[in-house]
A and B are shown apart, each in its own frame.
Chain A
């Protein structure tokens, strides 16, 4: 397979009538402050299943989307069948025979299967949709991939696995000869996933190229011909799947990253009191029976794959979503479990999405910072402007957030400064515990480092911190103790020297599952 990595202009032209080959050269992409991809070059041979693997945030989905025209790269070029192409939209890509099957399915729930399959590609006769031809073509393709539902049922009545097949049909109707699948098995049961793998193999055998983006190493090993590993937006290696093991992939996925350094960890004092205690918290199906304590000065990392239930656990602790079980702050049980009551008892939450959940973008910096603790700056419900101004300036200063003017809308700040302000908002009145969900998402390296230091400083001041991050290194580099969540349950706890990438990743992926799939592939 590695010989196909040098496909240039010449050889792949011959494959143009069948499967498509794609070469990407020097692709880079930046989202705000975060470098999603950096100078990635890669060759996908016609007619192969080529897997892209990596940790959360490694850039694998972004690369897939760039190849399918859903995301425009900042730099680099794409060659399809040897010719350079410039996609401005997925429509451009489909014209070249490249289709994308999204992680979140892109179907119209209220329309029928048939309408969804042909949406935007309706065969027509004199301006009218040609129903008869649609049905004929549909029947042919549906038989091909084993889709047995009636073409007239509405999408919203189908299971996710069936909807996925509809997506594949959509791609086939458009004569796609290269299909990018982004985490296709994430929402499927094992049996459904196996069936999807079969369909995918079948597509390949009938002359399609498949780029398969996944973090399920078992599926990847069982299915692919070639595997590319990405890490922190960089290409690590590309090689044949034969002879590859889950172990080897994990090692390649972890690697050491260069540009992240963490401040030295100071252990919390012996016998520090418990500040946050979570007992038997459940919110099925997201998570079940979650219990743990956090001591004053302790940073506890909550690690796990995207979708494992990390964020849901944090939200439930804070009272943002309903759940059963108990939450105590310094021994006081929170009742009722609402954000307001949690805040009153000294619990703070930095939510996952700064823009959607953390900040009110249209309002001024100052109002955003004071909003959760207006009591501190008001008198009988009336805001004391001078007190608010000085208190907000003080906390923004303490987190080194730079805003020229606290009266301007917070949307005008850089991502890093927005995030600092989102943390500062919880310091207007010092909390007992902080739930930090993705505290460095979408910000640049310099701001990341500043936020790491801030989290350390807060812990040293006696806060208990629950840290959630998709970037495993962040959890490993900051936490005193790591809890691993898989499928909504805490499956591992690692302290001190036990904390390393290998053990945490194994727990997060589920050791047994990974081993079994690995054997299957070998």
Chain B
């Protein structure tokens, strides 16, 4: 026994250096960026600028919250971008007949439905979730194109624009919605049995199952949540723009969402991560964009730097598990 215990500290300390780096890298980077930008850019630390940041980060932020949950449970959802677009098409198609709120509601339910479908095929057919959701996203895009014949739908009704454009206490509705997703997602993950089930399933599915957890149900639940969140984000989008056109939503919503989650430090290997990380990730990436614009940095460089940041985040994650 003594021999084991003696060999522990050295191994543990080396591991924990990587561990601590991975754990708090986003916090340190976020604060550093905040300080630098406040000092160098004049209009950075203002209420208006904060609201602007939230305005551009909230819609994909809703998707990012769900994506965080999905990564924690050890899965991936490439379909949520397609759902996001598809929900807008459904709502725009139904709005003239059913009115604004029922059509948006049905759109969100459709998103939820696709999410459940994804969960079922991943758990029961045991298809890798990356491939399964890639396939289902192609199907969803195809259905959207078929429904619209490839044309753009336009809903001029001012009632339809409420969700995406009205404010409550000076803050956009959809920022409040994002806020609700963050609070509920954060609470569920950190304080509830369901949260523990999600972490356990993603951390070690077999151990979770042998601890009495219905890991299939947990996975299906995570996919359903992802579909639902993409649906809500899609409903916000269609209401905000009034126009819908078939597409996969990858560049608009899914990629920024994935980037924020990963940069925040949620492990792509499952079992580790948190909603607050994703929130910091969103702010971090938005600040970079925002700050670069204020500093008038060439947009091409912005993309390169963002890509590099994601690589560093994922690399740190791999490193923390790769050291045996």
Contact = CB atoms under 8 A, between A and B. Distances in A.
Interface of A: 32-33, 318, 320, 338-340, 342-344, 349, 351, 356-363, 367, 370-372, 374-375, 378, 381-383, 385, 409, 412, 414-416, 425, 444-447
Given A339-B211, A359-B204, 7 more contacts: A339-B210, A359-B207, A360-B200, A362-B267, A381-B193, A383-B191, A385-B191
A340 B212 contact: yes
A190 B271 CA distance: 46
Interface of B: 1-5, 8, 12, 15-16, 19, 191-196, 199-200, 203-204, 206-214, 267, 271-272, 321
A403 to B, nearest CB: 12
B203 A361 contact: yes
Given A318-B210, A358-B210, A371 B1 contact: no
Nearest to B15: A412
B211 A372 contact: yes
A414 B5 CA distance: 7
A447 B1 contact: yes
26 contacts: A33-B4, A318-B210, A320-B209, A338-B212, A339-B210, A340-B212, A344-B212, A351-B207, A357-B206, A357-B210, A360-B208, A362-B271, A363-B199, A363-B272, A367-B199, A371-B200, A371-B211, A371-B213, A372-B211, A374-B196, A378-B193, A382-B193, A412-B8, A415-B4, A416-B4, A446-B1
A361 B204 contact: yes
A35 B214 CA distance: 38
Contacts of B195: 383
A409 B272 CA distance: 11
A360 B271 contact: yes
A36 to B, nearest CB: 14
A382 B4 contact: no
Given A415-B4, A444-B4, A367 B196 contact: yes
A357 B207 contact: yes
A367 B207 CA distance: 12
Per DSSP, chain B at the interface is helix
A425 B208 CA distance: 12
Given A339-B211, A340-B214, A383-B193, A360 B203 contact: yes
A374 B195 CA distance: 11
Contacts of A425: 211
B185 to A, nearest CB: 15
Nearest to A375: B193
Contact of A371 (B2, B196, B214): B196
Contacts of B271: 360, 362-363
A344 B212 CA distance: 9
A449 to B, nearest CB: 9
A363 B196 CA distance: 10
Contacts of A370: 196
Contacts of B191: 382-383, 385
A372 B204 contact: no
A362 B272 contact: yes
A123 B300 CA distance: 49
A248 B183 CA distance: 71
Closest 7 CB pairs of A and B: A446-B1, A360-B203, A340-B212, A372-B211, A343-B212, A360-B204, A362-B271
Contacts of A338: 212, 214
B1 A416 contact: yes
Nearest to A409: B19
B3 to A, nearest CB: 7
Contact of A372 (B5, B16, B212, B272): B212
A427 B175 CA distance: 45
Contacts of A356: 204, 206-207
A157 to B, nearest CB: 23
A409 B2 CA distance: 21
Given A360-B271, A444-B1, A349 B200 contact: no
B263 to A, nearest CB: 19
Nearest to B209: A339
Nearest to A383: B191
Contacts of A360: 199-200, 203-204, 207-208, 271
A378 B211 CA distance: 16
A351 B8 contact: no
Contacts of A320: 209-210
A36 B2 CA distance: 17
B56 to A, nearest CB: 33
Given A412-B15, A447-B1, A362 B203 contact: yes
A381 B192 contact: yes
B207 A358 contact: yes
Contacts of A372: 211-212
A416 B3 CA distance: 12
Contact of A383 (B3, B192, B267): B192
B323 to A, nearest CB: 11
A381 B194 contact: yes
B189 to A, nearest CB: 11
A343 B206 CA distance: 15
Contacts of B193: 374-375, 378, 381-383
Contacts of A414: 1, 4-5, 8
A209 to B, nearest CB: 34
Nearest to B11: A412
- Of A33, A363, A425, most buried by chain B (CB within 10 Å of CB) is A363
A338 B209 CA distance: 9
A371 B4 CA distance: 27
Contacts of A363: 199-200, 203, 271-272
Nearest to B203: A360
B68 to A, nearest CB: 16
A318 B199 CA distance: 23
A37 B202 CA distance: 36
A415 B208 CA distance: 20
A372 B200 CA distance: 10
A425 B210 CA distance: 12
Contacts of A367: 196, 199-200
A8 to B, nearest CB: 34
Contacts of A416: 1, 4
B174 to A, nearest CB: 28
Contacts of B204: 356-357, 359-362
Contacts of B203: 360-363
Contacts of A374: 193, 196
Contacts of B5: 414
A429 to B, nearest CB: 11
Contacts of B3: 33, 444
- Of B4, B195, B210, most buried by chain A (CB within 10 Å of CB) is B210
A198 B281 CA distance: 65
B277 to A, nearest CB: 15
Given A360-B271, A416-B1, A444-B4, A371 B206 contact: no
